[in-house]
Amino acid sequence: MKIDLQQIKQRFAIIGNSLLLNRAIDVALQVAPTDLSVLITGESGVGKESFPQIIHQNSSRKHGQYIAVNCGAIPEGTIDSELFGHEKGSFTGALSDRKGYFEVADGGTIFLDEVGELPISTQARLLRVLESGEFIKVGSSKVLKTNVRIVAATNVNLTLAVGEGKFREDLFYRLSTVPINVPSLRERPEDIYLLFRKFAGDCAEKYRMPAIKLSDEAKQLLLSYRWPGNVRELKNLTERISVIEEERMITVDTLKQYLPDSHVEKLPVLVKHDPDYKMFNSEREILYQVLFDMKKDVNELKELVHGLMSGNISVESKENENTYAHSHQKIHHVDHVIQEAEAVEEEALSLEEAEKEMIRKTLEKYNGKRKSAAAELKISERTLYRKIKEYNLE
């Protein structure tokens, strides 16, 4: 199997020898001859797009169509038409019949990247394809059949999305018949320097220049960095240094100039990937309710203590004695919780402002080009569009 793995790595330009990476490739090869649905998970930039190609090229469908669809880049109003096709006149601009990807790829494989961005209505249509191979074009009542292998990928926590009602539970289980997790660079640090040398060599060959090298200290910094953008970020950084720096030996001070400030570089990743992160609008409403309930409890406790101290309430019973003894402690605890909650609210608001400023500057950097800005922020174009509307950045 080791020989097969090396052949696969060479064919699909995969660099690395970590056990987690080898395991992911091995699972892809094992499931390829079947028609089982596969869900590929992993952070943005880890190279998930290689795995559906590995599966397709090692399956009986390899001579059929292979279509990759970025679900996050297609506007919500047109995604059903893109996937399932439409009839002439079914909506404004539908000047003729159109075949969707599921009809075109009949007998082949469809790769649904960023599947977590699909609208709920489209998820229902996709579930029908997975269960029965049937679909209906937009504006039609005729049921069509397709024989398509579906491989999906996501960099979001779909289990969390299911719990929040943003992703159908039945679709999640249908898609994840065989899950494959592509490890992040943090999970395979032994591959970081290998990738750096590969990218440096490729860039040197492309632009006919000597390849850059790292001092020992610079190498240690390279290995200790978090790499939130993973392989994509490492490649971009290597190419940028190769082109800009005249000196071919890169010192640790030089490398530091190209690694973003820790707070700035984590912000887009926090907004997109942190499983504990919630959208600020809905979170703020919940937080306000929690604060209101807590303050109500504090007021009731204060009234109780005041009554006990003034003698309006008897402390003769054991229960009241216990209440009196612990009331001050309980009030202090709840007050402390409220202070923490209010601090969280203030932090949420400050993060929101930081996110807004980050998006504004990135849009300015790329002269308003959303695709380039979304790629740098490591969010989908649809999410960026929603953020632009939310922050009035148009």
Same structural domain, 210 and 145: no
Which domain range does residue 50 map to? 2-183
Res 349: pLDDT: 53
| Pair 254, 350 in one domain | no
- Please indicate, yes or no, whether residues 12 and 137 belong to a single structural domain of this protein: yes
273-282, Cβ contacts within 8 angstroms, sequence gap of 24 or more: 273/43, 273/44, 273/155, 273/156, 273/157, 275/157, 275/160, 280/348, 280/349, 280/351, 280/352, 281/390
CA-CA distance, 11 to 25, in Å (whole number)? 12
**pLDDT of res. 344:** 53
- Write the CATH number for 215: 1.10.8.60
Nearest Cα neighbor of 87 from 142, 124, 128 is 142
Distance CA 13, CA 40 (A): 18
> Given 259, 294, 313, which residue is the final one in a domain?
259
Verify that 239 and 294 share a domain, yes or no: no
d(CA 329, CA 326): 5
Q: Across residues 21-48, what is the average pLDDT?
A: 95
Q: How far apart are the first and last CA of the chain?
A: 53
Q: State whether 234 and 105 are in the same domain.
A: no
- Pairing outcome for strands 149-154 and 109-113: parallel
Q: What is the pLDDT of residues 315-333, one digit of tens each?
A: 444 444 555 555 555 555 5
Residue 224 and residue 171 share a domain: no
In a domain, residue 158? The reply is yes
What is the model's pTM? 0.66
* Domain count for the chain: 3
Q: What are the pLDDT digits (tens) for 192-230?
A: 999 999 999 999 999 999 999 999 999 999 999 999 999
Residues 170 and 228 placed together within one structural domain of the fold: no
Local confidence band at 264 (pLDDT 50, 70, 90 cut-offs): very low
Chain segment 130-174, per-residue pLDDT in tens: 999 999 999 999 999 999 999 999 999 999 999 999 999 999 999
Return the pLDDT at 224.
93
Same domain (yes/no): 195, 254: yes
352 within some domain: yes
Among 132, 162, 183, identify where a domain stops.
183
Higher-pLDDT residue of 47, 338: 47
Are 50 and 191 in the same domain? no
